[in-house]
Amino acid sequence: MSATHDAQPAASSSPPFNPSLLDIFVVFASVSLSGFGGVLAWARRALVERRKWMTPEEFNDLFALSQFLPGPNIVNLSVVYGARLRGPAGSAAAFCGLLGPPLIIVTIFGILYAHFADVDGVRRALAGLSAAASGMLIATVAKMSQPLRASWLAVVIALGTFVAIGVMRWPMPVVLPLLLPMAIGLAWWVRR
């Protein structure tokens, strides 16, 4: 009994990780201000690599959940992760950080684009930005796939999803409900 009692203070001696609402807002605002063509790469870098608030596996799990929820994936991720950290106020802080600054910037750029859309230099700049955004997406997919390589099951499910949606061009709302029970069944079978 005393051994259990002695072990409890040692286990609870480190303070729990709990960033403030301002920390959550600032991280997601910096993510939103860094991302051109998508912020998934920046969100992963900020949460996993820089702040170490999540492991790569936790990020992948949360991103997978975010894909099954209605709405934009990264917005879903911010709301769910903010809630995990600080409840509804954390969700609001992450959501406002992620969408507030870009809303202001996009509104300003939308007004400017309406006036200068026909300028050849603007068209070329946008083509360059789209190429950079594509490269960032490919790099993020490569990083997100690293934790999956340890499980042949994850590789099979990922390849099956890619073939069904990317090659066969089957609609995602059809593929995901079919693959989800298969993935759960195979994971259960492997872990038995």
- pLDDT per position as a tens digit, 93-136: 999 999 999 999 989 988 988 888 788 888 888 888 888 888 88
Q: Which of 77-91, 126-140, 178-192 has the highest mean pLDDT?
A: 77-91
Question: Which residue spans within 11-52 are E strands per DSSP?
Answer: none
Residue 87, phi then psi, degrees to nearest 5? 75, -155
Residue type, 43: A
| Lookup: tokens for 75 | 């917005």
- Cβ contact 59:44 at 8 Å: yes
Q: What is the pLDDT of residues 39-50, one digit of tens each?
A: 888 999 999 999
- Cβ contact 190:153 at 8 Å: yes
3-state secondary structure (DSSP) of residue 55: coil
Q: Cβ contacts of residue 19 below 8 Å, gap of 6+? A: 27, 53, 85, 86
Taking the domains of the chain in order of start, what are their residue ranges?
16-119
What global pTM score does this model have? 0.59
3-state secondary structure (DSSP) of residue 3: helix
- The vertex-131 CA angle with 79 and 146, nearest 5°, equals 55
